[in-house]
Amino acid sequence: MQGLMMDMPLLISSILQHADRHFGDTEIVSRRVEGDIHRYTYSQCHQRARRVADALTRLGVHNGDRIATLAWNGYRHMELYYAVGGMGAVAHTINPRLHPDQIAWIVNHAGDSYLAFDTTFLPIIEAIAAKCPTVKGWIAMIDADKHPVSDKIPNLINYETLLSGGNDDFQWPELDERSAVALCYTSGTTGNPKGAMYSHRSTVLHAYAAALPDAMGASSRDSILPVVPMFHVNAWGLPYTAPMVGAKMVFPGPALDGKSLYELFETEGVTFSAGVPTVWLGLLQHVKQHDLKFSTFKRTVIGGSACPPAMIRTFNDDYGVEVVHAWGMTELSPLGTLSKLAGKHQKLSPAAQQKILEKQGHVIYGIDMKIVGDDGQDLPWDGTTFGNLLVRGPWVIKEYFKGEGGDPLVYDKEGRGWFPTGDVATIDADGYMQITDRSKDVIKSGGEWISSIDLENLAIAHPAVANAAVIGVAHPKWDERPLLIVARKPGAEVTREELLKFYEGKIAKFWMPDDVQFVDAIPLGATGKILKTRLREQFKDYTLPTA
Ligand code: ADP
């Protein structure tokens, strides 16, 4: 027997429509490349998104066409998310921090038909325009009177001029909820990047899930500033979750330094934010240096790479900001787990609670996970046994765009597909997952595994350390041994011996790094994560003193 409920497809256009009707005067505030602060409302955003959709239709954009963006977090980028996805085309966000050759490769692989960009990235567009034959026009997202001129870019269109030719009586089409809405490529640390193609359905379900109290816990009382870029897995879904709950949005644009961020946090009453650990280093340094406090900032989600426990403590103890440690991936839209205390944890000592909050956390309803051995057999949830982490759920990819890399899933006895994350993890009896390492970063020493993440977290807690990375270096007897690579804080002094001493009593003896090397800066990749591939390359001729 069938249920007798309405069949309404889950479409992203309905999210912005909802925000317009029910939170119409709630603000979206953006720092712009023009240099000023722009403010308008969800109603105005919806009106402009419909105009853009109409203008793109007039340009000949069809269902399923890919429209790329190379842009900061801002209101025009938000309009494009909804205009492009809502009309049935695909919003393809590209990370501008990638090398121009990689960007051109991605544009060509995706077959983008238009590309909209913030003018900060004009030099990239000039470098790639001639190499991207599928792109029919390049759209500069800037006021018409500041429109750039370039003889290297054919068909350079102004966003505002384009928009003024669109009609705001555009009606959002009733699409199949399984149709594609957005495309994001993985960073391609191994081989070429691969595209994760999100559907309307997966995006709406992910937005619901992200809003849950034990996930991001977003509400209409929040003022949300996504520091995580809209080109890094859709700013972790916040451009969908915020309008769904009617939260105010604050976009930092190109200014991601501590001072500019702090200003916006204060002037716009920001209550909630999200970003990778490295961006918070800058903000925390700024507030500490100037002896500042946050007046409204209460919670932040930190993920993308392991959040150092010292950062959780600083936010909480010194600034009263709750850190929610989260784990996810491009292939998961991206949210998988978040760490919040459950009812049963309320009576634990602060130290025991802290241990739980340091984990990557509990799955949100919708995602299922398990750990398996190399033989594919399930491993116990005891908090110590680690294995390969597999996930499944309605916002997990089943294959990459254009079938790249073949079938990525592994199948269980019932024939259900699971996505192998490439992460090694433990899960405790309460279902809290902790990442041990990426399988390619874990250090294999004499048949035992050493977590580079744990060693990095400890090093970062040293007051003289600005950032630290640990890589495995070949060793004749042990296969691999850990090498600690450290960037000191400006003006700070610390020796190799002091750092090794700092580990004593905190780790098993065989985990002790065999050596320490100092560098000016730890190289970071396009999404702010430590570039271990670069470090391995840099230290490829290095031999351990113990070798
Ligand atoms: P990329 O692979 O392009 O860097 P993702 O942003 O999809 O892009 O990265 C996903 C990976 O990042 C995960 O598989 C995991 O290794 C790592 N990661 C994400 N969040 C965390 C976290 N909280 N702790 C440790 N690792 C994390």
Question: 393-438: per-residue pLDDT in tens?
Answer: 999 999 999 999 999 999 999 999 999 999 999 999 999 999 999 9
Q: Which two three-digit tokens encode residue 242? A: 């915020």
Of 264, 294, 327, the domain-final residue: 327
> Is the shortest distance between the CB of 104 and ligand 1 below 6 Å?
no
Q: Which residues have CB under 8 Å from 447's CB, separation 6+?
A: none
60, with CB counted inside 10 A (0-12, 13-18, 19+), is: exposed
The answer, yes or no, to whether residue 152 has pLDDT greater than 90, is: yes
Q: Which residues have CB under 8 Å from 466's CB, separation 6+?
A: 281, 487, 488, 489, 490, 492, 522
Residues 191 and 322 both lie in one domain: yes
Tell which atom from ligand 1 comes closest to the C-alpha of 232.
6
Of 299, 327, 355, the domain-final residue: 327
Residues 307 and 454 both lie in one domain: no
Residues 121 and 252 both lie in one domain: yes
**Residue 384 forms part of a structural domain:** no
Higher pLDDT, 444 or 61: 61
Average pLDDT over residues 513-539: 91
The enclosing domain of 484 has a CATH number of: 3.30.300.30
CA distances from 507 to 66, 198, 326, 459, 513 (A): 49, 41, 24, 12, 10
| Beta-bridge mates of residue 483 | 471, 515
**pTM (two decimals):** 0.93
pLDDT of residue 373: 94
- Angle between the N-to-C axes of helices 42-59 and 12-22, in degrees from 0 to 180, rounded to the nearest 10: 140
> Is the shortest distance between the CB of 314 and ligand 1 below 6 Å?
no
**Residue 2 forms part of a structural domain:** no
Average pLDDT over residues 374-389: 95
The answer, yes or no, to whether residue 188 has pLDDT greater than 90, is: no
Q: Which long-range contacts (CB under 8 A, 24 or more apart) does 342-351 make?
A: 342/430, 344/430
**Residue 437 forms part of a structural domain:** no
Tell which atom from ligand 1 comes closest to the C-alpha of 529.
4
**Residue 389 forms part of a structural domain:** no
pLDDT of residue 94: 97
Residues 459 and 316 both lie in one domain: no
The answer, yes or no, to whether residue 30 has pLDDT greater than 90, is: yes
Report the C-alpha dihedral over residues 461, 466, 472, 474, rounded to 10 degrees.
-130
> Is the shortest distance between the CB of 420 and ligand 1 below 6 Å?
no
Of 264, 292, 327, the domain-final residue: 327
Rg (CA), the chain: 24
pLDDT of residue 309: 94
In 3D, which of 252, 260, 301 has the Cα closest to residue 283?
Answer: 260
Q: How confident is the model at residue 446 (pLDDT cuts 50, 70, 90)?
A: confident
**Residue 246 forms part of a structural domain:** yes
Separation of CA 328 and ligand 1 centre (Å): 6
- Domain of residue 287 covers 12-327
The answer, yes or no, to whether residue 190 has pLDDT greater than 60, is: no
Separation of CA 150 and ligand 1 centre (Å): 38
* Cβ(210)–Cβ(243) below 8 Å: no
> Is the shortest distance between the CB of 442 and ligand 1 below 6 Å?
no
Residues 177 and 310 both lie in one domain: yes
Separation of CA 439 and ligand 1 centre (Å): 12
> Is the shortest distance between the CB of 18 and ligand 1 below 6 Å?
no
Q: Which two three-digit tokens encode residue 409? A: 């899933």
Q: How far apart are CA 433 and CA 442, in angstroms?
A: 17
The enclosing domain of 229 has a CATH number of: 3.40.50.12780
Residues 95 and 240 both lie in one domain: yes
Residues 313 and 455 both lie in one domain: no
Chain-centre distance of CA 274, in angstroms?
A: 9
**Residue 394 forms part of a structural domain:** no
Average pLDDT over residues 6-26: 97
- How many domains is the chain partitioned into structurally? 2
**Residue 338 forms part of a structural domain:** no
pLDDT of residue 80: 98
**Residue 474 forms part of a structural domain:** yes
Q: Encode burial over 169-179: b for 16+ CB neighbours within 10 A, e otherwise.
A: ebebeebebeb
Q: How confident is the model at residue 92 (pLDDT cuts 50, 70, 90)?
A: very high
Q: Which residues participate in catalysis according to the annotation?
A: 186, 331, 444, 449
